Amino acid sequence: MTEQRKRDIYNIAREFDILILEDDPYYFLQSTLVPSLLSMDTDGRVIRTDSFSKTLSPGCRLGFTFGPKQIVDKLAHNQHLESGGPSAISQMLIYKVVEAWGYDKYLDHLAKIASFYKQRSDVLVSYMDKYLTGLCEWTRATGGMFQWVTLLGVDKSEPVVDRLMKSGVFVMDGFIFSVERTSRPNIRLSFACVSDDQMAKAVSTLADVLKEIRGIE
């Protein structure tokens, strides 16, 4: 989201007195850090959740929350009752890494990961330019691990996603992310942990599937 969009959302939340949960574990994977909703909060209506999963270790399943003390205290209390809290081994591991690195080294690490994913994203988009031009449209991801794609000439993504799966290519179906859970011609590709060759194969398979469905030679 752009800074302006966040400000607009924040103003709507103010107008209707709504709390905002800013679930933002990909924040530090952006090429330019757009201010967070939490940083715009003057009323104490934003609860921000972040995670070490995308930046240090997915297996640790450890995150952190900021927000008004009354709410964060309740969340922490609830978590202790529900799950007993995150694994102590994960907490100790992450704590020791962050303690040893200190703030500056931790931020350097985040910048390195952002640049690593930017490179992965560049490779994916180069294959998309090669194979998908005219078959799909996209706005380049400016960070994170994912590239959204609009499939042209089809009204929903399910048949495409099914055929891709049969060919060994797994993509996320866009409808999962839609509030109304309605079909739409969008899919989400991940460039996080696939090799260049896998990307090329996946993207060319997507091109073949779309051509087959649309009856293009």
List interacting residues with ligand PLP (CB under 6 A): 23, 25, 51, 53, 61, 63
Least distance (Å) from ligand PLP to the CB of residue 49?
Answer: 7
CA distances from 212 to 19, 159, 164, 216 (A): 46, 11, 12, 6
- Least distance to ligand PLP from the beta carbon of 213, Å? 29
| Residues 132 and 149 sit within 8 Å (Cβ to Cβ) | yes
For residues 36 and 51, which CB has a smaller minimum distance to ligand PLP in the complex?
51
Phi-psi region of 84 (alpha: psi -120 to 50; beta: other; left: phi over 0): left
Of the two residues 85 and 134, which places its CB atom closer to ligand PLP in the complex?
A: 85
Q: In angstroms, what is the minimal distance from the CB of 108 to ligand PLP?
A: 22
State in angstroms the smallest separation of the CB of 126 from ligand PLP.
25
Coil, helix or strand for 181?
coil
Q: Which is nearer to ligand PLP, 131 or 146 (CB)?
A: 146
- How would you class 37 by CB atoms within 10 Å of its CB: exposed for 0-12, middle for 13-18, buried for 19 or more? buried
Nearer Cβ to ligand PLP, position 13 or 172?
172
Residue with Cβ nearer ligand PLP (23 or 43): 23
Q: How far is the CB of 61 from ligand PLP (least distance, A)?
A: 5
Q: Which residues contact 60 (CB under 8 A, 6 or more apart)?
A: 52, 53, 86, 87, 90, 93, 94
Tokens of 117: 């994913």
